[in-house]
């Protein structure tokens, strides 16, 4: 079956108890035993598992082409679970322009548990190779990176990882499995903030971990039920509902993204546009090779923080907010919003300038998005 069919039907079967075409929200914390030690369908307690979670996990494993998937209360909870596969003394190489929350989790929390982290430009496989240590156990890649849109060649990175027997983790949040399938390119684990495109409607938070190896799957399920960050029934229901339209939403996001990026690139007030779909992007060819489209995440530089703030205060259709991947166009200033936890010198090194604006292009009529951006750019 094709992607859109799978997104609508896999894990989204009618409710076996009633035939309801949409399975109900199993809003219960516990499950009654038929007789001592015997459960009707294997569910005993909602922290451990529940039907809405199981359904969503089945859909995700299918869409990413994995062996199994587990869902968590947020993207960060899922990513934290992946790092818990490690032991004190292990070393991880991460994309240097990683999401600010991942930077904070690793440098301010997990370092205290004896895990070592190096931040490297993963768009250059030779730099990753040179950063390997005898205790390196994981390479963690975000591609494209948030918010600088740097692209890593996943297949090349998988080769580097496999040569050293290291686990390759790819954060696929910015593109969703519709536009990029990292497991087909050799990734061992895929993570998502489902808060973004997978849900798509800005009404729930969630994280996903998709595995390819049964041994990782067992460990992640153990972490999920032991640490208790598994996703609740209502949120699973909302995200399962959102995924049904993922294919068609991503098509429109992608088309709008291309149109907006081209428009901004030609605008005299915009100093630089960061978007893998532009031929001037340094990894344009890699993006063309491994992505089904450039997506709808765009960053652009307005020169100074003052200019960026004047612009952000004038947008009307675009919503000034954290997050991305919703049907509505969202706009933000990474240096003081999503990436505020990153020290200034790190921001400067990786290109998060004070005037860098991040745009998550929604699926409104593109003419309306362009008109709003144009009127706000008059104030720059």
Ligand X SMILES: Cc1ncc(COP(=O)(O)O)c(C=O)c1O
Q: Which of the ranges 32-40, 120-128, 167-175, 277-285 carries the binding residues for ligand X, by CB under 6 A?
A: 167-175
Which position among 15, 43, 47, 271 bears the catalytic label?
47
Please report, for the chain, how many H helices and E strands are present, in that order.
Answer: 14, 14
State how far the Cα of 232 lies from the Cα of 23, in Å rounded to an integer: 15
Nearer to ligand X, 122 or 146 (CB): 146
Which position among 196, 249, 309, 358 bears the catalytic label?
196
State how far the Cα of 287 lies from the Cα of 279, in Å rounded to an integer: 10
**Smallest distance from ligand X to CB 183, Å:** 17
Q: Which residue in the set 75, 177, 242, 294 belongs to the binding site for ligand X (CB under 6 A)? A: 75
Nearer to ligand X, 71 or 86 (CB): 71
State how far the Cα of 351 lies from the Cα of 346, in Å rounded to an integer: 9
State how far the Cα of 315 lies from the Cα of 56, in Å rounded to an integer: 36
- For residue 12, what is the enclosing H or E element? none
Is-catalytic flag, 58? Answer: no
Q: Which pair of structure tokens corresponds to residue 265?
A: 């690139």
Is-catalytic flag, 40? Answer: no
**Collapsing DSSP states into helix, strand and coil, what is residue 133?**
coil
300 and 174 Cβ atoms separated by less than 8 Å: no
The total number of residues shown for the chain amounts to 380
Is-catalytic flag, 171? Answer: yes
By beta-carbon distance, which residue lies closest to ligand X? 75
Asked if residue 240 binds ligand X (CB under 6 A), the reply is no
The residue to which tokens 């990436």 are assigned: 339
Nearer to ligand X, 206 or 355 (CB): 206
Is-catalytic flag, 269? Answer: no
Asked if residue 193 binds ligand X (CB under 6 A), the reply is yes
Give the CA dihedral 12, 16, 17, 21, nearest 10 degrees: 40
Nearer to ligand X, 70 or 99 (CB): 99
Nearer to ligand X, 6 or 146 (CB): 146
**Smallest distance from ligand X to CB 263, Å:** 24
Q: Which residue in the set 173, 176, 202, 332 belongs to the binding site for ligand X (CB under 6 A)? A: 173
Nearer to ligand X, 207 or 276 (CB): 207
28 and 46 Cβ atoms separated by less than 8 Å: yes
Contacts of 126 (CB under 8 A, 6+ apart): none
Asked if residue 66 binds ligand X (CB under 6 A), the reply is no
Q: How many residues bind ligand X (CB under 6 A)?
A: 14
Which position among 171, 216, 235, 372 bears the catalytic label?
171
**Smallest distance from ligand X to CB 166, Å:** 21
**Smallest distance from ligand X to CB 378, Å:** 30
Please report, for residues 196, 198, 358, the alpha-carbon distance to residue 296 in angstroms, rounded to integers and kept in the order given: 12, 14, 11
Q: Which of the ranges 150-158, 170-178, 236-244, 293-301 carries the binding residues for ligand X, by CB under 6 A?
A: 170-178
State how far the Cα of 17 lies from the Cα of 351, in Å rounded to an integer: 54
Asked if residue 295 binds ligand X (CB under 6 A), the reply is no
Which position among 26, 31, 70, 99 bears the catalytic label?
99
Bridge partners (DSSP) of residue 210 are: 69, 190
Asked if residue 171 binds ligand X (CB under 6 A), the reply is yes
Q: Which of the ranges 62-70, 166-174, 216-224, 263-271 carries the binding residues for ligand X, by CB under 6 A?
A: 166-174
**Smallest distance from ligand X to CB 140, Å:** 11
Nearer to ligand X, 49 or 202 (CB): 202
Asked if residue 142 binds ligand X (CB under 6 A), the reply is yes
User: How would DSSP label each residue in 180-231?
Assistant: --GGGGT-SEEEEETTTTTT-SSS---EEEEESSHHHHHHHHHHHHHH--BP
Spacing of C-alpha 323 from chain mean position: 11
Instruction: List the catalytic residues.
Output: 47, 99, 171, 196
**Which chain residues interact with ligand X by CB under 6 A?**
74-76, 99, 101, 142, 146, 171, 173-174, 193, 195, 205, 207
């Amino acid at each position: 079956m094709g992607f859109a069919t799978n997104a609508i039907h896999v894990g989204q079967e009618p409710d076996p108890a009633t035939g309801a075409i949409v399975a109900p929200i199993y809003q219960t914390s516990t499950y009654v035993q038929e007789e001592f030690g015997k459960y009707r369908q294997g569910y005993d307690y909602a922290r451990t598992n529940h039907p809405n979670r199981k359904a969503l996990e089945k859909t995700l494993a299918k869409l990413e082409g994995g062996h199994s998937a587990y869902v968590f209360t947020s993207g960060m909870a899922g990513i934290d679970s992946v790092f818990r596969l490690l032991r004190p003394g292990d070393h991880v190489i991460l994309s240097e322009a990683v999401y600010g929350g991942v930077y904070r989790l690793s440098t301010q929390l997990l370092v205290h548990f004896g895990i070592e982290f190096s931040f490297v430009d993963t768009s250059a496989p030779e730099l990753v190779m040179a950063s390997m240590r005898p205790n390196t156990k994981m390479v963690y890649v975000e591609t494209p990176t948030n918010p600088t849109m740097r692209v890593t060649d996943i297949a090349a990175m998988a080769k580097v990882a496999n040569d050293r027997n290291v686990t390759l983790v790819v954060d696929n949040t910015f593109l969703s499995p519709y536009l990029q399938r990292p497991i087909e390119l050799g990734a061992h684990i895929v993570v998502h903030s489902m808060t973004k495109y997978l849900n798509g409607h800005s009404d729930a938070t969630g994280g996903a971990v998709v595995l390819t190896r049964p041994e990782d799957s067992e460990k992640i399920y153990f972490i999920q039920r032991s640490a208790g960050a598994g996703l609740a029934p209502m949120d699973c229901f909302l995200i399962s509902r959102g995924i049904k339209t993922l294919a068609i939403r991503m098509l429109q996001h992608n088309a709008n993204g291309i149109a907006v990026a081209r428009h901004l690139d030609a605008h005299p007030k915009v100093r630089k546009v960061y978007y893998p779909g532009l031929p001037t992007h340094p990894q344009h060819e890699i993006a063309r090779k491994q992505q089904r489209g450039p997506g709808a995440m765009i960053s652009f530089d307005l020169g100074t923080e003052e200019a960026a703030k004047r612009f952000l205060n004038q947008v009307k259709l675009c919503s000034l907010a954290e997050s991305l991947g919703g049907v509505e166009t969202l706009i933000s200033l990474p240096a003081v919003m999503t990436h505020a936890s990153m020290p200034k010198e790190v921001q400067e090194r990786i290109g998060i300038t004070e005037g860098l604006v991040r745009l998550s292009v929604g699926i409104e009529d593109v003419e309306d998005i362009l008109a709003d951006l144009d009127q706000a750019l008059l104030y720059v």
